[in-house]
Amino acid sequence: MTSREIRAAFLEYFQSKSHHIVPSAPVVVKNDPTLMFTNAGMNQFKELFLGEAAVKYPRVADTQRCLRVSGKHNDLEEVGIDTYHHTLFEMLGNWSFGDYFKKEAIEWAWELLTEVLKLDKDRLYVTIFEGDASENLERDSEAFNFWKAHIAEDRILLGNKKDNFWEMGDQGPCGPCSEIHFDMRSNEERAAVKGQDLVNADHPQVIEIWNLVFMQFNRLKNGSLEHLPNKHVDTGMGFERLVRCIQGKTSNYDTDVFQPLIQYISEKSGIPYGQDEKTDIAMRVLSDHIRAVSFAIADGQLPSNNKAGYVIRRILRRAVRYAYTFLNFKNPFFHELVPVLAAQFKGVFDELYAQQDFVEKVILEEEVSFLRTLTTGIQRFENYAEGNQVIDGDFAFELFDTYGFPIDLTDLLAREKGLYVDMEAFDKALQAQKDRSRAATTIDTGDWVTVSDIDESEFVGYDSLTANTEIIKYRKV
């Protein structure tokens, strides 16, 4: 099945179970101070769960574009390194607002995966909430019993509160969840690990595909739990992961979701995909990041120097850096991926197709300005390298801090000239800066909370070339 067919099959299946299909909400969130970007399918239904809005359709399904690059869910650093965490991904979901509950949710998930989508039953396993004595929460034996009708008991495993009890926040609806995992390891490898050990497999070919949340409690202000009068179902399935399992690939990037982008990058760089880990990672980063950046812009968030705009600018520059350093793109290239992406999402998320030229133009402008900074930095490097054998730590740090050179890039430039970087001194300078920013965090208090979650090891200094020096440099840790 193609990815288009798989997406359609999901929506058609739930439509056949009387679900109303709704459009994806934008990935940019404008009216919720606790959230910058949509990070789960349930976001747009938050008010329904909180009882703040009337339920029009008790059964709903959709595919929601989600971005996990800030706040509670920040997967950015995994992206490109592993093969199943993306910045932007589609979360397929079905919901019951006070309508059906565990029995149907489990039955339908199983039927869809195994009968409609024909996933190998022997590679599926599920988890249920094991309970939590400190809160007097029992094991979810209801879910266990419903699963038992479909799957062997030794493939129903126990999960702890962290993985199998979902909460919206400190207060509000919450409840146990059941996760569905797919195991793509070889038969021999699978035979060696059974039962509860599967949960701890921590293997790149054993991946979570679907999370079924059963909201049956409400957490009160004082921390205690009460039963909800109306119980809800909230599910989320990673579309790109599902496609990978159905298409029998060992990486999301090998599916038809990402291949058109990867092939385009490979062609234009003249480097085959699958040749070398470093260039492969770079191609994965580019093909992933173009999705996040393009949809953020199409949904109304331009790259900028603060808050959500800054997160998008960083993702964009991360991609340009990878393109420049590992794929040898010295001129703007990233924007060229927009038409490839827009064509892919035509008829799915037309927002991008409709604004393709604008999105492309914004990215091109960003690229031009960032590459200029990179070029100036390289000139500085060339001058320095003339008279020195070793790139000392302070200079490497200056390149990092002022010109946005990741240490990888400086190292690469140095090695090309037969020089080396004093890494120890660089680390020291970096640490000193971290200490300074930590001391300065008090300036940060008025800022949007999630911005401070940006990984501190990522470079932030290029904006010191702009007027916003202070704000940017201290928005840390």
Nearest to 397 by CA among 423, 418, 362: 423
Q: Which residue is nearest to ligand ATP (CB)?
A: 238
Q: Which residues, including other chains, have CB under 8 Å from residue 78's CB and lie 6 or more apart?
A: 85
- Choose the contact partner of 291 out of Mg ion, ligand ATP, none; CB within 5 to 8 A by kind: none
Q: Looking at beta carbons only, is 26 or 238 nearer to ligand ATP?
A: 238
Q: Looking at beta carbons only, is 87 or 373 nearer to ligand ATP?
A: 87
Q: Looking at beta carbons only, is 82 or 208 nearer to Mg ion?
A: 208
Query: Would you say 302 and 291 are in contact if contact means Cβ atoms under 8 Å apart?
Result: no
Q: Looking at beta carbons only, is 236 or 393 nearer to ligand ATP?
A: 236
Q: How far is the CB of 9 from ligand ATP (least distance, A)?
A: 17
* 25 burial level (CB within 10 Å; 0-12, 13-18, 19+): middle
Question: How far is 141 from 147, CA to CA, in rounded Å?
Answer: 10
Q: How far is the CB of 380 from Mg ion (least distance, A)?
A: 39
Residue with tokens 């992406």: 341
- Choose the contact partner of 91 out of Mg ion, ligand ATP, none; CB within 5 to 8 A by kind: ligand ATP
Give the type of residue at 405: F
Q: How far is the CB of 447 from Mg ion (least distance, A)?
A: 24
Which contacts qualify for 370-375: CB closer than 8 Å, 24 or more apart? 370/316, 370/317, 370/320, 370/404, 370/462, 371/320, 371/324, 371/330, 371/331, 371/332, 373/403, 373/404, 373/462, 373/465, 374/320, 374/321, 374/324, 374/403, 374/404, 374/405
Q: How far is the CB of 155 from Mg ion (least distance, A)?
A: 18
Q: Which residues bind ligand ATP (CB under 6 A)?
A: 40, 68, 75, 85-86, 89, 91, 208-211, 236-238, 240-241
Six-digit token pair at 11?
A: 């929506």
Distance of CA 72 to the CA centre of its chain: 11
Q: How far is the CB of 378 from ligand ATP (least distance, A)?
A: 33
Q: Looking at beta carbons only, is 294 or 325 nearer to ligand ATP?
A: 294
- Choose the contact partner of 68 out of Mg ion, ligand ATP, none; CB within 5 to 8 A by kind: ligand ATP
- Choose the contact partner of 85 out of ligand ATP, Mg ion, none; CB within 5 to 8 A by kind: ligand ATP
Query: Would you say 266 and 273 are in contact if contact means Cβ atoms under 8 Å apart?
Result: yes
| Local structure of residue 449 (DSSP, 8 states) | G
- Choose the contact partner of 210 out of ligand ATP, Mg ion, none; CB within 5 to 8 A by kind: ligand ATP
Q: Looking at beta carbons only, is 90 or 366 nearer to ligand ATP?
A: 90
Q: Report residue 342: phi and psi, to 5°.
A: -60, -40
Is 235 among the residues that bind Mg ion (CB under 5 A)? no
Among the listed ranges 209-217, 283-291, 307-315, 322-330, the one in contact with Mg ion (CB under 5 A) is 209-217
- Choose the contact partner of 401 out of Mg ion, ligand ATP, none; CB within 5 to 8 A by kind: none
Six-digit token pair at 164?
A: 């199998």
Q: How far is the CB of 268 from Mg ion (least distance, A)?
A: 32
Is 211 among the residues that bind Mg ion (CB under 5 A)? yes
Question: How far is 395 from 418, CA to CA, in rounded Å?
Answer: 17
Q: Looking at beta carbons only, is 87 or 269 nearer to ligand ATP?
A: 87
Print the SS3 string covering 103-151: HHHHHHHHHHHHHHCCCCHHHEEEEEECCEHHHCECCCHHHHHHHHCCC
Q: Looking at beta carbons only, is 208 or 444 nearer to Mg ion?
A: 208
Q: For residue 16, what are the CA distances in angstroms to 29, 32, 107, 114, 284?
A: 31, 33, 14, 17, 36
- Choose the contact partner of 89 out of Mg ion, ligand ATP, none; CB within 5 to 8 A by kind: ligand ATP
Site string for Mg ion, 369-388 (x = CB under 5 A): --------------------
Q: How far is the CB of 78 from Mg ion (least distance, A)?
A: 9
Q: Looking at beta carbons only, is 74 or 259 nearer to Mg ion?
A: 74
Six-digit token pair at 161?
A: 């509160």
Among the listed ranges 58-66, 194-202, 210-218, 441-449, the one in contact with Mg ion (CB under 5 A) is 210-218
Give me the residues that bind Mg ion (CB under 5 A), please: 208, 211
